[in-house]
């Protein structure tokens, strides 16, 4: 190696070490001046010797002045959320649920729940390759360039004992001190103040210029590792390892042997958290052992092996002036409280959701009452109580409206439900528009170039009365709208045309049948193949489908009982939308793997891991994350991690090669 190159490498290593000590370990090894001097020297050498450039050099953290577009990236593992509780009793319930499944020989890990913007970082061979925001949990924005400016996030890992490929998740935070300084500067410039550190952190990640992100002085704590080849069996132990690779892992995480220890941790941090430099909104309690985590598994939204205990949030008192009612896409009528404006957690609050009439009744709310309003991590504040002693003039109890505020139809309240509904689904304006917005949304027909404003305009012009009208709209109708150019009109027409190819399961989701979300729509489509079968399916047939319960079955039947919905489907069919499962999908399906749990590991020649996973599911099997007694097969490719191989041997689990697997499902 030539001596210039050696010098460059040495400077990079030294600067990386100083940086790690300063931003992660909170100790400085050299003066700022000496650090800056070395950085300048490295910058100069890199300019003179572009042949030794490295995108992960410490000089690359400065950010750029160029605007960027954030690419949408699908998460390899969806980013789940945590189930929340504010009560200790529910923490004990969680403990009981966990013990019922895994017995009582295990430990918990308690961690602080950081209140920032969640991020998923991917590393390969010790190098940061991608940073993606949570987004909708399935896919997020690629914000790698912005993340690289955060000094506590390692661009290259230390040592060599990390897995070849893994993801690490955590929270991007703006420390209180930085937030306050930023707001002070804004105040001096007469600019609007930022609401809170959390929103500011997540807003900062989406700034167009990474050089601006650097100025935001963000920090990051990491708390969750994902990958096939973790070095340790325990979450705590893995995070401790991650700390040695250079990540900032909170030193306050603790192992707890009993639920009493967990509660003691909660009590301690309920007050001590006020001494922390960053925002926290609770404690996360996790089962430590990774194989027990897998045994507990996940629900659709959150893991069963973890729970978040949230701290009581800030509360203020204000006056309830009136109640208005909002009608959503499903016809559900939500009461909204109009309040005297009041500051909570840095934002002005004027309205609060009351959810349903039971809540109004239980609170025994009266107009003019002084009410307690709380704003936790949630965006929408809520009324949590009434100061009854402050009542002077007592107004009568609030009577929930009887008629839809938008169309005048008499409201109904289905048995067993808390919500009131306007049943005029096909004639009530906010429901019609809401249904159309859902219909065109990304996960449905994906005609997003149309947007809610266009829908609103077309609806008001009388050109769109229901979703079937979308396919009858003409280019000139759109051009005639205010502020609509020829080009945007063409885009809209094109994406309407393209949406005719959207597969049946998404069309079914787009119809907006109550309780039929994207996953349920998929199950129904797979099981019954086409809309005619679905339309005529009896209750028993529906509930015999995996994951379809009474509530969904009744809702599907109610939908198709309505003549107007049948007509709508017929019109959509005529327009050429897909109302049956594609041949390809039908052929791909079988029950061959029913009851089998298959783990995929390694790299493959013919198909990607995602494709193999899909094939397992299409053939009735289950793709599980890790090897346990329950595993039926390991579908193994090249380079399976040694720890996995050992486990397979120990548990005597049969292995399948890619070809053997394809043969098994009749694809070869």
Segment holding 293, helix H or strand E = helix 290-296
Minimum distance from CB of 286 to ligand IVH (Å)?
A: 7
Q: Which of 20, 113, 156, 241 binds ligand IVH (CB under 6 A)?
A: 113
Residues 577-606 that bind ligand IVH (CB under 6 A): none
Cα distance between the two ends of the chain? 50
Q: Which stretch binds ligand IVH (CB under 6 A): 106-114, 494-502, 512-520, 655-663?
A: 106-114
Minimum distance from CB of 171 to ligand IVH (Å)?
A: 5
- What are the φ/ψ torsions at residue 200 (nearest 5 degrees)? -65, -40
Minimum distance from CB of 582 to ligand IVH (Å)?
A: 33
Closest of 558, 112, 637, 640 to residue 550, by C-alpha: 558
In the complex with ligand IVH, the residue whose CB is nearer, 283 or 524, is: 283
In whole angstroms, how far apart are CA 98 and each of 228, 254, 284, 301? Answer: 24, 19, 15, 17
In the complex with ligand IVH, the residue whose CB is nearer, 120 or 431, is: 120
> Rounded to the nearest 5 degrees, what angle is found at the Cα of 327, between the Cα atoms of 326 and 329?
140
* Rounded distance between C-alpha atoms, residue 508 and residue 511, angstroms: 5
647 lines the binding site for ligand IVH (CB under 6 A): no
Residues 52-91 that bind ligand IVH (CB under 6 A): 80-82
Q: Are 138 and 74 in contact (CB under 8 A)?
A: yes
Task: Return the residue matching tokens 């505020």.
Answer: 405
Task: Return the residue matching tokens 């219909």.
Answer: 439
Q: Which stretch binds ligand IVH (CB under 6 A): 64-72, 97-105, 108-116, 194-202?
A: 108-116
Task: Return the residue matching tokens 């280019």.
Answer: 475
SS3 assignment, position 324: strand
Q: Which of 70, 94, 108, 114 binds ligand IVH (CB under 6 A)?
A: 114
* Rounded distance between C-alpha atoms, residue 106 and residue 496, angstroms: 54
In the complex with ligand IVH, the residue whose CB is nearer, 298 or 347, is: 298
In the complex with ligand IVH, the residue whose CB is nearer, 223 or 439, is: 223
118 lines the binding site for ligand IVH (CB under 6 A): yes
Those residues whose C-beta lies under 8 Å from the C-beta of residue 256, and which sit 6 or more positions away, are 107, 108, 109, 110, 262, 265
Q: Are 370 and 438 in contact (CB under 8 A)?
A: no
Q: Which stretch binds ligand IVH (CB under 6 A): 300-308, 356-364, 522-530, 531-539?
A: 300-308
Q: Are 444 and 506 in contact (CB under 8 A)?
A: yes
Minimum distance from CB of 39 to ligand IVH (Å)?
A: 32
Q: Which of 40, 99, 113, 215 is catalytic?
A: 113
In the complex with ligand IVH, the residue whose CB is nearer, 222 or 404, is: 222
Minimum distance from CB of 390 to ligand IVH (Å)?
A: 35
Q: Which stretch binds ligand IVH (CB under 6 A): 112-120, 208-216, 476-484, 543-551?
A: 112-120
* Rounded distance between C-alpha atoms, residue 348 and residue 346, angstroms: 7
Q: How many residues bind ligand IVH (CB under 6 A)?
A: 14
Q: Which of 63, 197, 234, 303 binds ligand IVH (CB under 6 A)?
A: 303
DSSP designation for 374: E
Task: Return the residue matching tokens 């077309």.
Answer: 458
Minimum distance from CB of 193 to ligand IVH (Å)?
A: 25
* Rounded distance between C-alpha atoms, residue 510 and residue 594, angstroms: 29
* Rounded distance between C-alpha atoms, residue 127 and residue 110, angstroms: 29
Q: Are 114 and 172 in contact (CB under 8 A)?
A: no
In the complex with ligand IVH, the residue whose CB is nearer, 57 or 133, is: 133
Q: Is 113 a catalytic residue?
A: yes
Those residues whose C-beta lies under 8 Å from the C-beta of residue 368, and which sit 6 or more positions away, are 319, 320, 321, 391, 393, 395
Minimum distance from CB of 159 to ligand IVH (Å)?
A: 24
Minimum distance from CB of 135 to ligand IVH (Å)?
A: 11
- What are the φ/ψ torsions at residue 528 (nearest 5 degrees)? -110, 0
Minimum distance from CB of 253 to ligand IVH (Å)?
A: 8
In this structure, what token pair is assigned to residue 29? 């090894």
284 lines the binding site for ligand IVH (CB under 6 A): yes
Residue with CB nearest ligand IVH?
118
In the complex with ligand IVH, the residue whose CB is nearer, 311 or 421, is: 311
Closest of 494, 414, 512 to residue 449, by C-alpha: 494
Minimum distance from CB of 165 to ligand IVH (Å)?
A: 19
Residues 140-199 that bind ligand IVH (CB under 6 A): 171
Q: Which stretch binds ligand IVH (CB under 6 A): 113-121, 362-370, 397-405, 498-506?
A: 113-121
* Rounded distance between C-alpha atoms, residue 36 and residue 428, angstroms: 65
Q: Which stretch binds ligand IVH (CB under 6 A): 4-12, 107-115, 189-197, 642-650?
A: 107-115
* Rounded distance between C-alpha atoms, residue 517 and residue 555, angstroms: 12
Minimum distance from CB of 109 to ligand IVH (Å)?
A: 9
In the complex with ligand IVH, the residue whose CB is nearer, 17 or 107, is: 107
In the complex with ligand IVH, the residue whose CB is nearer, 286 or 647, is: 286
Residues 198-257 that bind ligand IVH (CB under 6 A): 223-224
x-or-dash string of contact with ligand IVH, 526-565, rule CB under 6 A: ----------------------------------------
3-state SS string over 588-655? HCCCCCCCCEEEEECECCCCCHHHHHHHHHHCCCEEECCCCCCCCEEEECECCCHHHHHHHHHCCCCE
Those residues whose C-beta lies under 8 Å from the C-beta of residue 567, and which sit 6 or more positions away, are none
In the complex with ligand IVH, the residue whose CB is nearer, 224 or 604, is: 224
In the complex with ligand IVH, the residue whose CB is nearer, 171 or 369, is: 171
Q: Which of 20, 42, 95, 111 binds ligand IVH (CB under 6 A)?
A: 111
Those residues whose C-beta lies under 8 Å from the C-beta of residue 310, and which sit 6 or more positions away, are 84, 85, 86, 113, 281, 282, 376, 377
In the complex with ligand IVH, the residue whose CB is nearer, 123 or 236, is: 236
* Rounded distance between C-alpha atoms, residue 382 and residue 373, angstroms: 6
In this structure, what token pair is assigned to residue 159? 């040592």
Minimum distance from CB of 282 to ligand IVH (Å)?
A: 8
Q: Which residues form the interface with ligand IVH (CB under 6 A)?
A: 80-82, 111, 113-114, 118, 171, 223-224, 284, 303, 306, 308
Would you name the residues annotated as active-site residues? Answer: 113
């Amino acid at each position: 190696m030539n001596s210039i190159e050696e010098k460059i490498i040495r400077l990079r290593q030294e600067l990386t070490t100083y940086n790690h000590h300063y931003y992660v370990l909170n100790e400085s090894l050299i003066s700022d001046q000496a650090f800056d001097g070395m950085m300048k020297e490295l910058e100069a050498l890199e300019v003179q010797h572009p042949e030794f450039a490295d995108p992960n050099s410490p000089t690359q953290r400065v950010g750029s002045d160029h605007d960027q577009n954030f690419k949408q990236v699908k998460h390899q593992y969806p980013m789940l959320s945590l189930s929340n509780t504010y009560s200790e009793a529910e923490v004990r319930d969680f403990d009981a649920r966990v013990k019922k499944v895994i017995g009582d020989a295990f430990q918990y890990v308690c961690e602080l729940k950081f209140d920032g913007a969640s991020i998923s970082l991917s590393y390969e061979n010790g190098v940061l390759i991608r940073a993606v925001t949570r987004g909708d949990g399935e896919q997020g924005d690629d914000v790698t360039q912005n993340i690289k400016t955060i000094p506590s996030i390692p661009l290259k890992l230390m040592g060599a004992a990390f897995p070849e490929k893994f993801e690490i998740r955590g929270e991007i935070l703006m420390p209180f001190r930085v937030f306050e300084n930023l707001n002070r500067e804004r105040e001096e410039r007469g600019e609007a103040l930022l609401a809170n550190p959390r929103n500011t952190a997540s807003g900062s990640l989406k700034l167009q210029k990474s050089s601006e992100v650097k100025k935001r002085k963000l920090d990051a704590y990491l708390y969750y590792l994902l990958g096939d080849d973790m070095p340790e069996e325990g979450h705590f132990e893995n995070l401790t390892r991650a700390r040695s690779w250079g990540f900032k892992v909170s030193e306050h995480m603790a192992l707890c042997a009993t639920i009493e220890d967990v509660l003691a941790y909660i009590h301690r941090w309920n007050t001590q958290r006020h001494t922390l430099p960053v925002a926290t909104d609770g404690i996360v309690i996790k089962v430590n052992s990774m194989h027990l985590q897998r045994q507990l598994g996940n629900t659709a939204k959150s893991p069963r092996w973890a729970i978040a205990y949230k701290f009581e949030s800030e509360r203020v008192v204000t006056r309830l002036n009136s109640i208005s009612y909002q009608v959503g896409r499903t016809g559900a009528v939500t009461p909204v409280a109009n309040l005297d404006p009041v500051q909570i957690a840095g934002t002005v609050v004027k309205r609060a959701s009351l959810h349903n009439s039971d809540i109004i009744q239980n609170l025994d709310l009266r107009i003019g009452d002084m009410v307690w309003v709380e704003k936790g991590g949630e965006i929408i504040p809520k009324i949590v109580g009434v100061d009854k002693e402050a009542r002077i003039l007592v107004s009568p109890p609030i009577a929930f409206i009887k008629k839809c505020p938008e169309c005048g139809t008499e409201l109904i309240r289905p048995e067993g439900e808390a919500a009131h509904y306007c049943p005029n689904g096909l004639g009530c304006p906010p429901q019609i528009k809401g249904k159309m917005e859902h219909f065109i949304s990304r996960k449905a027909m994906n005609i997003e170039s149309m947007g809610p404003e266009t829908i609103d305009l077309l609806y008001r012009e009388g050109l769109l009365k229901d979703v079937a009208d979308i396919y009858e709209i003409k280019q000139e109708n759109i051009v005639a709208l205010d502020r609509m150019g020829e080009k945007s009109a063409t885009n809209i027409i094109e994406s309407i045309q393209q949406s005719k190819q959207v597969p049946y399961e998404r069309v079914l989701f787009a119809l907006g049948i109550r309780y039929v979300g994207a996953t349920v729509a998929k199950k129904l489509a797979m099981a019954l193949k086409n809309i005619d079968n679905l339309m005529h399916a009896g209750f028993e047939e529906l509930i015999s489908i995996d994951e379809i319960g009474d509530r969904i079955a009744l809702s599907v039947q109610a939908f198709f009982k309505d003549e107007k919905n049948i007509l709508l489907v017929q019109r959509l069919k005529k327009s050429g939308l897909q109302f049956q499962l594609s041949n390809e999908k039908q052929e791909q399906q079988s029950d061959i793997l029913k009851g089998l749990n298959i783990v995929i590991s390694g790299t493959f020649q013919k198909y990607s891991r995602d494709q193999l996973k899909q094939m397992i599911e299409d053939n009735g099997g289950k793709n599980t994350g890790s090897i346990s007694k329950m595993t039926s097969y390991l579908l193994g490719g090249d380079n399976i991690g040694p720890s996995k191989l050992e486990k397979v041997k120990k548990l005597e689990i049969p292995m399948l090669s890619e070809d053997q697997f394809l043969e098994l499902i009749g694809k070869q």
